[in-house]
Structure 1
Amino acid sequence: MCLIVFAWQVIPGSPLIAAANRDEFYARPTAPASWWEDQPDIYAGRDLKDGGTWIGITRGGRFAAITNVRAPSERRPDAPSRGALVSDFLGSRKTAAEYVAEIAVDAARFNGFNLLVGDGKQLIWYSNKGETDARNGQPLAPGVYGLSNATLDVCWPKVVRTKAQFSSLLCQGAPDACFFDMLSDTTRSGDCRLPSTGVDIETERMLSAVFIESPDYGTRATTLVKLKTNGSAMLHERVATPSGAPCRTHAPSKSTRRCSR
């Protein structure tokens, strides 16, 4: 996951609403969102290379999502997959605070990440990079947040722009389709507003879009999650293809319909 905006305890009846884009190399094998056969309480997409996921929910209303921290000079190719941090929480019975305390012990063995874990009572942001609050796990107060490949609410153009649009859609009570439209924006930021994250300028330009397109890397899936006060959870996923063909929408009802990005 490379961009996620979310509202925690802002909308009555829906303590969590999150909208996210997953960016990845097209060659990496991936399964679309579904109920997992080996862990039937989990509904999520799946990384078929290492077995984890980037965002998911459970029948009991648990939620987790992860983004990478972009630091190419610090990346270790032998580090374990960060997607397991999401699936392990979803498959556990630990509270969000208990899980964060457990993984913090050896989180340094992973490449940089931001992790969101929610147990229905708390939503916690944890990162193995950044300031003390992040490394200890920060329980989030009610509000609207944005997370990309740096710290929470970093002032990157696409984070600032998407948070503002997300907040507006929430205030309007907009239909789900509008959130997917928001995340389909391919506009790139001007050079003067680009962050410096250790990649070349052409790559920074490509990565600055909300919806990323390039020959071998880009936005693979767009996801909308809603958790309800009654404990129910909804996850809708639209899977994109680099060819520009129509995407598919996947939801827990197992209904699949054609859609256009």
Structure 2
Amino acid sequence: MCILLCTRKHPDYPLIIASNRDEYFDRPTQLAGFIDENTLCPVDLGRQEHGTWIGITKQGRVAVLVNYREPAMECLNKISRGSIPMKFLKSNKKAITWSESANKHMNGFKDVGGFSLLFGELQASQGGKEIMPLHIMSNRYRETVSVFNTEETLNRQDNDRYHKMQLFDTIGLSNSPYLEPWPKVTEGKKLVEEVAENAVRQKWNKDKLVSKLFEVLTVAHPSDPEKWLNYNLEEGFDQMPKSIFVPPLRKIKGPACSESKSKPTSLYGTRTQTVILVDKHGKVTYVEKTLHSSEDLTEKPQLHCSEFQIQGWVDGRNAVSAENKQNDGCEMNEQTSKQTHPVKLLYSAN
């Protein structure tokens, strides 16, 4: 039961993304990295399409996907949902043109399980202080809605149903319709906004901001991981809409709807956490923390950090050259990799 939280509340970071991937621990997954010279993302190796749930490119294309909660018989579909963000990241089409084309060529996504996708092209607005609007599409809603608008960028012909959401400074997506957010989304949005506001007020550096965002992603209800391990399927499933973080659960196959063919005894829960910062000069910091890549609950978290400059970003001073260098490995690697907490501490909530 994944979650996506993103905000524009920090003046130095016009876009902050925090995401949890909840999945079977034994599902084959390639850690985040540049899969080509432009595209940074993890790769789901559990389906032949080798898709992804989150990614960003040097050209500023960004995509994050969350699944819908659906009956078990509808989970395994002809086409993997992970192929959709991957197709967008690799496309050269403008965001809305791409969505219209993809919807047409994929038959309205009828052969794909339910999903919501945040996607778009990161471009500076107002001298880099804000970004141009992004978009949310879903095969459970007809309309594609733009988000992170200002009164100036908002299309007045847009559906009034979405008007408030289009102007939100902070948005959240999980496994419910995005106009009907689960409690975890409501709480997550509040916590992320508080982090951004505290970061500005207390002048946190980037490392502390990232660390605090990971703390938000690790808030669990209940916080004791032993309770989760002792839940039966129904009890654990009932808690997921309330808990940003999902500690390990056993025998959760079916309702989790992960498109996985994992064995029924597999462990399931939050296995990957991602924080993406885009600063006002177009510099991207991508931090991935992999909590589980197997059923060994004592394994240490794996941390990957990459930084690069979005090509063509205009921040009010100059347009950034397309000839930029990426940095695989940030200062946070050494600091955060020291977090070798045992399971009980790793899953504690604040």
Aligned to 2:328, what secondary structure does the other structure show?
coil
Per the alignment, residue 227 of structure 1 pairs with 278
The TM-score, its normalising length taken from structure 1, stands at 0.86
- Which of 145, 161, 164 is matched with 2:171 structurally? 145
Q: How many angstroms apart in 1 are the aligned matches of 2:288 and 2:24? A: 18
Preserved CA contact (<8 Å) 1:61 1:233? no
Q: How many angstroms apart in 1 are the aligned matches of 2:338 and 2:175? A: 28
Instruction: Rate the CA distance shift 1:218–1:123 in 2: closer, same or farther, 3 A.
Output: same
Deviation of 1:73 after TM superposition, in Å, equals: 5.5
The code of the aligned residue for 1:84 comes to S
Q: How many angstroms apart in 2 are the aligned matches of 1:244 and 1:163? A: 30
Q: How many angstroms apart in 1 are the aligned matches of 2:234 and 2:56? A: 36
Per the alignment, residue 208 of structure 1 pairs with 242
Give the count of matched residue pairs.
245
The code of the aligned residue for 1:115 comes to L
Q: How many angstroms apart in 2 are the aligned matches of 1:12 and 1:99? A: 30
Preserved CA contact (<8 Å) 1:146 1:153? no
Q: How many angstroms apart in 2 are the aligned matches of 1:136 and 1:98? A: 14
Preserved CA contact (<8 Å) 1:240 1:248? yes
Q: How many angstroms apart in 1 are the aligned matches of 2:101 and 2:338? A: 41
Preserved CA contact (<8 Å) 2:14 2:278? yes
Per the alignment, residue 4 of structure 2 pairs with 4
Aligned to 1:251, what secondary structure does the other structure show?
strand
How much identity, in percent, do the aligned residues show?
28
Per the alignment, residue 184 of structure 2 pairs with 158
The code of the aligned residue for 1:62 comes to R
Per the alignment, residue 245 of structure 1 pairs with 299
Deviation of 1:77 after TM superposition, in Å, equals: 2.2
Q: Deviations over 1:33-54 (max 9, x none)?
A: 1111xx3211111111231111
Deviation of 1:244 after TM superposition, in Å, equals: 3.9
Deviation of 1:102 after TM superposition, in Å, equals: 1.6
Q: How many angstroms apart in 2 are the aligned matches of 1:63 and 1:226? A: 12
Q: Deviations over 1:118-166 (max 9, x none)?
A: 2023300000014xxxx22111134201110012253422111111110
Aligned to 1:80, what secondary structure does the other structure show?
coil
Rg larger for: 2
Instruction: Rate the CA distance shift 1:159–1:78 in 2: closer, same or farther, 3 A.
Output: closer
Preserved CA contact (<8 Å) 1:17 1:225? yes
Instruction: Rate the CA distance shift 1:204–1:229 in 2: closer, same or farther, 3 A.
Output: same
Question: Does 2:120 align with 1:118?
Answer: yes
Per the alignment, residue 254 of structure 1 pairs with 328
Deviation of 1:92 after TM superposition, in Å, equals: 1.2
Q: Deviations over 1:142-197 (max 9, x none)?
A: 420111001225342211111111000011115210000111122239xxxxxxxx
Per the alignment, residue 136 of structure 1 pairs with 143
Instruction: Rate the CA distance shift 1:136–1:102 in 2: closer, same or farther, 3 A.
Output: farther
Aligned to 1:6, what secondary structure does the other structure show?
strand
Instruction: Rate the CA distance shift 1:188–1:129 in 2: closer, same or farther, 3 A.
Output: farther
Per the alignment, residue 196 of structure 1 pairs with none
Deviation of 1:91 after TM superposition, in Å, equals: 1.1
Aligned to 2:14, what secondary structure does the other structure show?
strand
- Which of 45, 48, 63 is matched with 1:48 structurally? 45
Q: How many angstroms apart in 2 are the aligned matches of 1:146 and 1:88? A: 22
Aligned to 1:222, what secondary structure does the other structure show?
strand
Q: How many angstroms apart in 1 are the aligned matches of 2:110 and 2:144? A: 14
Aligned to 1:14, what secondary structure does the other structure show?
coil
The TM-score, its normalising length taken from structure 2, stands at 0.65
Q: Which runs of 5+ in 1 are unaligned?
A: 190-198
Q: How many angstroms apart in 2 are the aligned matches of 1:44 and 1:125? A: 19
Deviation of 1:259 after TM superposition, in Å, equals: 4.1
Q: Which runs of 5+ in 2 are unaligned?
A: 123-131, 150-166, 224-232, 251-266, 307-326, 340-345
